[in-house]
Structure 1
Amino acid sequence: MQLKEFGVCLGDLIQEFNFEVIYGPDGFDKIEITKDDVSRPGLQLAGFFDFFDPNRLQVMGKVETTYVESFEPEKRTEIFERLFSAGIPAMIISRNIDIFPECLEAAKKYGVPLLRTNEFTSTIINAIVASLKVSLAPRITLHGVLIEIYGEGVLLLGDSGVGKSETAIELVKRGHRLIADDAVEIKRVSDKTLVGTSPDVIRYFIELRGIGIVDVRRIFGVGSVKLTEKIEMVINLENWEEGKQYDRLGLEGQTTSILDIRVPSLTIPVKPGRNLAVIIEVAAMNNRYKKMGYNAAKELQERMLRSFGG
């Protein structure tokens, strides 16, 4: 799968972290940050630029400024000119440290925004990285419904008309929370974690055939909805086919790949008379037990083997 590269505007980060703008060229707030990592220019201040990624935000703290302070102004000018000429998106000074005149001159010369914060260096780096991981995460949009059930994010998939939205409404009535209906925006925020949400324009609305559009938050209250949720399980709903063999024990764990992450999944056949909401509740609880190390199907198999063996 070819993943699209996303970006976040520097102005959004400035607003989020309340950075002080020491210097900013025209249009600097529109500079796009495309890397979800942040660097401290330690070796670069010593002149080593091998494997240096100029697309990362740079943060200077007490260690770096103390090192640069030991040089004469001419040497400081040389250090900052080489660093800023590399085309870095911005330089952030932590701990409200005074700005070197040579640093400000180089920033103006090469048009690099110069920002400052009173946060500790490690604190602001961790916060920026966490924010960028979410903003720049690879993402896709799937046709489905995302519900939080007993703390488990359950993604319902299936053909149009199979009953995903109707099941979601029943689950909401039973005390669970809706995250998204019809379109689920999914981000891979780490190598193991998928987070789903709804597009802003349709957030908290559900379409029910025969009724129309329903505002879940207004009808069931703010406790019935949630902005985002980790996707812990995928349930594929499909119309019941006579003669098709469906898994009856659950010994073989199915998974569904989303953004190259394998998520535990089930296929549940739909036919009149089956209470899908209850079945999905049980599936969510069972999945939670499996994560805690208990598998009912394996327990039954072991009991049967002990019985026959005895």
Structure 2
Amino acid sequence: MAKVNANDLLEKFELELLSGEEGIYRPITTIDISRPGIEMAGFFTYYPAKRLQLLGRTELSFFQQLTDHDKVERMKKLCTYDTPGIIISRGLEAPKELLDASDEFGVPILRSSLTTTRLSSRLTTFLESKLAPTTAMHGVLVDIYGIGVLLTGASGVGKSETALDLVRRGHRLVADDSVEIRQEHENTLIGRAPELIQHLLEIRGLGIINVMTLFGAGAIRPFKRLALVISLELWDQNKAYDRLGLEENTVKIIDTDVPKLTIPVRPGRNLAVIVEVAAMNFRLKRLGMNAAQQFSDRLTDVIEEGDREEY
């Protein structure tokens, strides 16, 4: 999981630092953002202190109605040693009691000119992208007709060569060898290449080639949603492979089940064409057109019709 702190928010959203500079490197560990309205009223029993706190016009207007004693008490309870930061929206003035408490506990106080709703939405999107669960997988990620296809398999089975052929056919490379996969939303996996190997493809016998330099900017893309996993494996004569396409296997990546196909590799098979057709067929299935199921239904009808004629 990536690390995020108030200093990152300062740079990303062009915020103004009002106080608590010593705490700008406190880690933000959760995506959730809290608007401490009920805490302003004095109820701190379930105060989510480890969340980023967002104060808008509603909270600060209520705060101004409190007594001087309550103002100091509430701000001290709001600023804890676990609180990663407090952000004030709409460019509103920060209460003196808040600034004093932030200096005492080292909680950074930031200010934005954005409205509370818009700021909350942007912060949540940013934190989701940075703090989402992440893993790395060995394989090649290619964008084929808008479908993010992850090619997996043993080293030397032909993943990179297949990706090169797909790029020559007009598809786009996302990552080769190592794919960083981030679950940004429920059932949404986003794959990208590590910065060190972006746009690069390793072909045994040729070495490392730069796909963008050779084929142009249209041959690569920085990230892609992962929709299908295709496992390439050497042909095993003793193994029964799916010949109709009725089997629906999945592989679990982080918390998401992704459809998986297994394609046997043997001399004479054009893997690029097979993978390309697999992506097209997967797209048709999502549109409700399943050729294998249609064939199975027709076969069932023929068998039933033959049984009726016998009687």
- TM-score of the two chains, using structure 2 as the length reference: 0.94
Corresponding residue for residue 112 of structure 1 = 107
Deviations 1:90-131 (A, max 9, x none): 100011111111111111122110001111111111111111
Deviation at residue 260 of structure 1 after TM alignment? 2.5
1:185 paired to 2:157: no
Gaps of 5+ in 1: none
Corresponding residue for residue 56 of structure 1 = 51
Does the 8 Å CA contact 2:24/2:107 hold for their aligned counterparts? no
Corresponding residue for residue 38 of structure 1 = 33
Q: Give the one of 197, 200, 206 matched to 2:195.
A: 200
1:7 paired to 2:3: yes
Corresponding residue for residue 304 of structure 2 = 309
Q: Give the one of 254, 263, 266 matched to 2:261.
A: 266
Deviation at residue 86 of structure 1 after TM alignment? 5.9
The alignment partner of 2:180 has SS state of strand
Q: Give the one of 12, 15, 18 matched to 1:19.
A: 15
- What residue identity is the alignment partner of 2:228? M
Counterparts of 2:261 and 2:246, CA distance in 1: 12
Counterparts of 2:115 and 2:285, CA distance in 1: 41
Corresponding residue for residue 309 of structure 2 = none
1:130 paired to 2:116: no
Counterparts of 2:97 and 2:109, CA distance in 1: 12
Does the 8 Å CA contact 1:6/1:34 hold for their aligned counterparts? no
1:249 paired to 2:278: no
Does the 8 Å CA contact 2:151/2:230 hold for their aligned counterparts? yes
Deviation at residue 65 of structure 1 after TM alignment? 1.0
The alignment partner of 1:75 has SS state of helix
Does the 8 Å CA contact 1:20/1:117 hold for their aligned counterparts? yes
Does the 8 Å CA contact 1:208/1:214 hold for their aligned counterparts? yes
Q: Give the one of 45, 69, 77 matched to 1:74.
A: 69
Counterparts of 1:51 and 1:218, CA distance in 2: 55
Does the 8 Å CA contact 2:49/2:80 hold for their aligned counterparts? no
Counterparts of 2:70 and 2:81, CA distance in 1: 17
Deviation at residue 24 of structure 1 after TM alignment? 3.2
1:150 paired to 2:141: no
Counterparts of 1:25 and 1:270, CA distance in 2: 59
Corresponding residue for residue 283 of structure 2 = 288
Counterparts of 2:168 and 2:62, CA distance in 1: 62
Deviation at residue 261 of structure 1 after TM alignment? 1.1
The alignment partner of 2:110 has SS state of strand
- What residue identity is the alignment partner of 2:78? L
Counterparts of 2:173 and 2:120, CA distance in 1: 33
Deviation at residue 6 of structure 1 after TM alignment? 4.1
- TM-score of the two chains, using structure 1 as the length reference: 0.95
Q: CA RMSD in A?
A: 1.3
Deviation at residue 25 of structure 1 after TM alignment? 2.5
Does the 8 Å CA contact 1:33/1:89 hold for their aligned counterparts? yes
Counterparts of 1:52 and 1:193, CA distance in 2: 30
Does the 8 Å CA contact 2:81/2:106 hold for their aligned counterparts? no
Corresponding residue for residue 95 of structure 2 = 100
Counterparts of 2:282 and 2:190, CA distance in 1: 18
Gaps of 5+ in 2: 306-311
| Equivalenced residues, count | 305
Counterparts of 1:85 and 1:255, CA distance in 2: 45
The alignment partner of 2:301 has SS state of helix
The alignment partner of 2:53 has SS state of strand
